[in-house]
Amino acid sequence: MTKIRFFSRKEKRLIEKIASHPQETENYLRLGKLYFLNSDYPKASQAYERGLKVAPRNKSLLFNYAVTREAQQDLEGAKELFLEILSIDPNDEAAQKHLDQITDF
Amino acid sequence: MKQFVVIGAGRFGSAVAVTLAQKGKQVMVIDQDEQTVQRMSEIVTQAIQLDVTDPRSLADLDLGEMDVAVIGIGGNLEASILTTMQLKEMGVKIVVAKAKTNADKKILSRIGADRIVFPERDMGIRVANSLVSPTIFDYIQVSPGFGIVETRVPDAIQGQTLTEANIRSRFGIDIVAIRRRAPQLDKKGESQLKDTMLIAPRADEILGKNDILVIIGEEGKIEKFKSL
């Protein structure tokens, strides 16, 4: 019960923060992660998509969104996002590792 | 720890070698191409350049200690046959050979290959199954008409326990395992999925929306289950 209440409070606070400071990408990221940890992948994806409208080349948003797509078994979508990260930073090891895991060789 | 040797590192052989190495196994790769050997040496335990189509060259290597040998020589049945014979004589416990036709299979099994694979045919079956059934992620044919597949939990039984879903009685198939991908944050605070495999899951295990079921059964019955 405490856990659910904590989740709701945190969710509400982040939604309010996003409404008052829509340009701050960190809040989209936090909200996405909150949903991700609760296995609510569609809502996590929505949060990341909104964040990416503000900062389309934000690596952290792209990475967390990609892992969420992976969780949803949308491997093609995840692959595109990991490739986008690598186009921004070719040395991103975490993105490369994930990409290798979901790509047939 | 089991020791593997992969002879011939073309597409098939290198895929086997890389996958084994990624799983932390000791893998030796033998291939005649210098560049291939160079590339594989960065991935596997040991990579050696040898003319793998000449089985005499293998005689100098002490491969008798190997637990499993995978022969990935493509398009050269004669070399595969001679290599299989030589590896069995050396004392390799399991020899896996690649065949293109049923005739190849017969010959290879007669001369001692313990397992014969048809990579192209098997992959063709798997691809076709995944195209026909997008909810199926992987398919392994155990025998004609009988297979093991990984598939999503059908909507109709999400949230039920295995007992409530009553899968064996209703569909005549068995759940071998449940692959569960648990969301978590890593040390850097980034999203990660931790794979856990529940082998022979308990009857009170609840089937989650994001679980992947590993099921075994007749293809027709698996199809019926998927369409739930």
Query: How far A21 CA sits from the closest chain B CA (Å)?
Result: 22
Reply yes or no on whether the pLDDT at B135 is more than 60. Answer: no
> CA-to-CA distance for B2 and B166, rounded, in angstroms?
39
- Which of A38, A67, A105 lies at the smallest CB-CB distance from B191? A67
Q: Which two tokens stand for residue B85?
A: 């014979």
Q: Which two tokens stand for residue B213?
A: 């079921």
Q: Which two tokens stand for residue A66?
A: 């990609």
- Kindly determine whether residue A39 and residue B208, on different chains, have CB atoms separated by under 8 Å: yes
Question: B209: which chain A residues are within 8 Å (Cβ-Cβ)?
Answer: 39
Query: Which of B40, B43, B138, B191 is the mutation pick for testing A, counting most A CBs within 10 A?
Result: B191
pLDDT tens column, A42-87: 999 999 999 999 999 999 999 999 999 988 878 889 999 999 999 9
Reply yes or no on whether the pLDDT at B9 is more than 70. Answer: yes
**For residue A105, what pLDDT is reported?**
41
The chain-wide mean pLDDT, for chain B, equals: 86
Q: Given CB atoms, is B195 within the 8 Å cutoff of chain A?
A: no
Q: Given CB atoms, is B191 within the 8 Å cutoff of chain A?
A: yes
Please give the residue that has the higher pLDDT: either A66 or B121.
A66
Please tell me whether the interface predicted TM-score (ipTM) of this complex is above 0.90: no
Query: How far A86 CA sits from the closest chain B CA (Å)?
Result: 16
Number of Cβ pairs < 8 A linking chain A and chain B: 37
Question: A69: which chain B residues are within 8 Å (Cβ-Cβ)?
Answer: none
**For residue A15, what pLDDT is reported?**
96
What is this structure's pTM?
Answer: 0.49
Report the top-level CATH class of B122-226.
alpha beta
List C-alpha distances in Å: A26 to A52, B38, B84, B184, B195: 11, 44, 59, 18, 27
- Which of A36, A64, A105 lies at the smallest CB-CB distance from B18? A105
- Kindly determine whether residue B191 and residue A94, on different chains, have CB atoms separated by under 8 Å: no
A2 alpha-carbon distance from chain centroid: 25
**For residue A84, what pLDDT is reported?**
96
Q: DSSP secondary-structure letter at B161?
A: B
Residues of A at the B interface, defined by Cβ within 8 angstroms: 32-33, 36-39, 41, 60, 63-64, 67-68, 70-73, 94, 105
Please give the residue that has the higher pLDDT: either B140 or A21.
A21
Region of poorest pLDDT, from A81-95, B50-64, B145-159, B200-214: B50-64
**For residue B139, what pLDDT is reported?**
67
Q: Given CB atoms, is B131 within the 8 Å cutoff of chain A?
A: no
pLDDT tens column, B156-207: 998 899 999 999 999 999 998 898 888 899 989 999 988 788 888 888 888 9
Contact between B189 and B199 (Cβ < 8 Å):
no
Contact between A51 and B177 (Cβ < 8 Å):
no
Long-range contacts at B222-228 (CB < 8 A, ≥ 24 apart): B222/B147, B222/B149, B222/B151, B222/B173, B223/B133, B224/B171, B225/B151, B225/B154, B225/B167, B225/B171, B225/B173, B226/B133, B226/B135, B226/B136, B226/B151, B226/B154, B227/B154, B228/B154, B228/B155, B228/B156, B228/B157
Contact between B75 and B11 (Cβ < 8 Å):
no
Question: B185: which chain A residues are within 8 Å (Cβ-Cβ)?
Answer: 33, 37
The chain-wide mean pLDDT, for chain A, equals: 91
- Residue ranges and CATH numbers for the domains of chain A are 2-102 (1.25.40.10)
Task: Say whether domain B3-117 belongs to CATH 3.90.1150.10.
Answer: no
The full set of domain ranges for chain B reads 3-117, 122-226
Region of poorest pLDDT, from B10-19, B77-86, B115-124: B115-124
